[in-house]
Amino acid sequence: ELDIAERTARLLGSSVKEQTVHAVDEVSLSVAKGEVLGLVGESGCGKSTLGRMVAGLMRPSDGEIRFRGRNIGTLKGAEARDAALKIQMVFQDPMSSLNPRLRVDEIVGEAPRVHGIVPRREVTAYVDDLLERVGLDPSTRRRYPHQFSGGQRARIGIARALAVKPDFIVCDESVAALDVSIQAQILNLFMRLREQFDLTYLFISHDLGVVEHISDRIAVMYLGRLVELGDAEVVFSRPNHPYTQALVEEIPTFETKKKVYGAIKGEIPSPLDPPPGCHFHPRCPHAFERCRIERPLLKEVAPGRLSACHLNDEASRRGAA
Ligand code: SF4
Ligand code: MG
């Protein structure tokens, strides 16, 4: 359904002086219809940038995003509008992405009204139905975002995305701000909605535990590069890349949910000045000379399984000898 062939994406710094960072560097991914692709990595790895490009909120400076075989960057008029509606984004913090001055029925009903998704006189009933499907009482339709809990606001954000009848949803840290028990409820909701509405998801999270729960396949990014990709269960149970191995070891247990990522040794290097060779080498327990010099390419290590680590070459060389 979706192909990402991305060579360099520029992330413009918010400071007065523009900083050009290659937030995403030669990432190529496909998401099949009906699939949930989990995209994980620490903050600053470029996963949000990639998500924003998929949702059409940013353009790759080189490369393309293809949706149903068409490059969405080159679509015009009605086709561009249709693609923009078919790919929706559910954001991290519902409080800052919901307009505090609009009522829930206005938030959810605005886009269907503007885009004529349903006839005008049916919008109210349509909104009520959506609220119900995301687990909200339709009688709360005239309330404002601040009158809801965090979990309920997440549901409002989901209803808003669903309202334009999308096929593809980019979830960027959509449950990150929520308590663990609420996270589980919202993840279950996403899975139910996937069935009901025949949805495809790109599910972005810094938390491998969250992504593992709902993904068919998992893609792991580190400093703008894809380092591993494969079937979720396999990546999770037998991670190939040392970075993925570190992430898996770090998945907090239910009780210690709060602590994430402390155990991978070393700081995340600046994306402005990534280390040469393998970006992960300063933190990798298995780094050797070649890692400091040569960039490891993403290679198929098993059918449908990709990893970018020189250790795989060493292993196959030893195997061949
Ligand atoms: Fe570690 Fe080298 Fe593999 Fe990079 S290429 S992950 S530094 S072993
Ligand atoms: Mg992010």
- Report, as an integer, the average pLDDT of 209-230: 91
187 Cβ neighbours under 8 A, 6+ residues apart: 175, 210, 213, 214
Are the C-beta atoms of 75 and 87 separated by less than 8 Å?
A: no
Cβ–ligand 1 contact at 286 (below 6 Å) = yes
> How far, in Å, CA of 230 to CA of 309, rounded?
14
> Confidence class of residue 52 from pLDDT cuts 50, 70 and 90?
confident
- Report, as an integer, the average pLDDT of 212-230: 91
Q: Which ligand sits closest to the CA of 288?
A: 1
Are the C-beta atoms of 145 and 139 separated by less than 8 Å?
A: no
ipTM, two decimals, is: 0.94
Are the C-beta atoms of 24 and 46 separated by less than 8 Å?
A: yes
Cβ–ligand 1 contact at 223 (below 6 Å) = no
In angstroms, the Cα distances linking 305 to 21, 200, 219, 223, 234 are 28, 20, 10, 20, 9
What tokens were used for 193?
């909605």
Q: What is the CATH number of the domain that holds 144?
A: 3.40.50.300
Cβ–ligand 1 contact at 52 (below 6 Å) = no
* Residue 1 confidence (pLDDT) above 80: no
Ligand 2 midpoint to CA 48 (Å): 5
> How far, in Å, CA of 56 to CA of 242, rounded?
32
Tens digits of residue pLDDT in 19-48: 344 556 667 788 888 999 999 988 778 888
Cβ–ligand 1 contact at 287 (below 6 Å) = yes
Q: CB burial class (10 A; 0-12, 13-18, 19+) of residue 114?
A: exposed
The total number of structural domains in the chain stands at 1
Cβ–ligand 1 contact at 242 (below 6 Å) = yes
CA 155 remoteness from chain centre: 18
For 256, other C-beta atoms within 10 Å of its C-beta total 9
Nearest-atom number in ligand 1 for the CA of 281 is: 7
Q: Which ligand sits closest to the CA of 44?
A: 2
Q: Which amino acid would we find at residue 239?
A: P
Cβ–ligand 1 contact at 291 (below 6 Å) = yes
- Report, as an integer, the average pLDDT of 173-194: 91
- Report, as an integer, the average pLDDT of 258-276: 66
* Residue 68 confidence (pLDDT) above 90: no
Helices (H), 100-206: 104-114, 123-133, 150-162, 180-197
- Report, as an integer, the average pLDDT of 85-103: 85
Model pTM score:
0.87
Q: Which ligand sits closest to the CA of 52?
A: 2
Q: 6-20, 159-173, 244-258: which has the highest mean pLDDT?
A: 159-173
Nearest-atom number in ligand 1 for the CA of 292 is: 7
> How far, in Å, CA of 271 to CA of 202, rounded?
23
> Confidence class of residue 11 from pLDDT cuts 50, 70 and 90?
very low
- Report, as an integer, the average pLDDT of 77-83: 88
Which of 62-66, 67-71, 301-305 shows the lowest mean pLDDT across its residues? 62-66
Pocket residue to mutate for ligand 1, from 240, 247, 281, 297, most atoms within 8 A of Cβ? 281
Measuring from atom 3 of ligand 1, which residue has the nearest CA? 309
Ligand 1 midpoint to CA 292 (Å): 9
Measuring from atom 7 of ligand 1, which residue has the nearest CA? 281
Cβ–ligand 1 contact at 222 (below 6 Å) = no
Nearest-atom number in ligand 1 for the CA of 278 is: 4
Range of the domain at 185: 2-320
Adjacent-strand bridge partners of 40: 205, 220
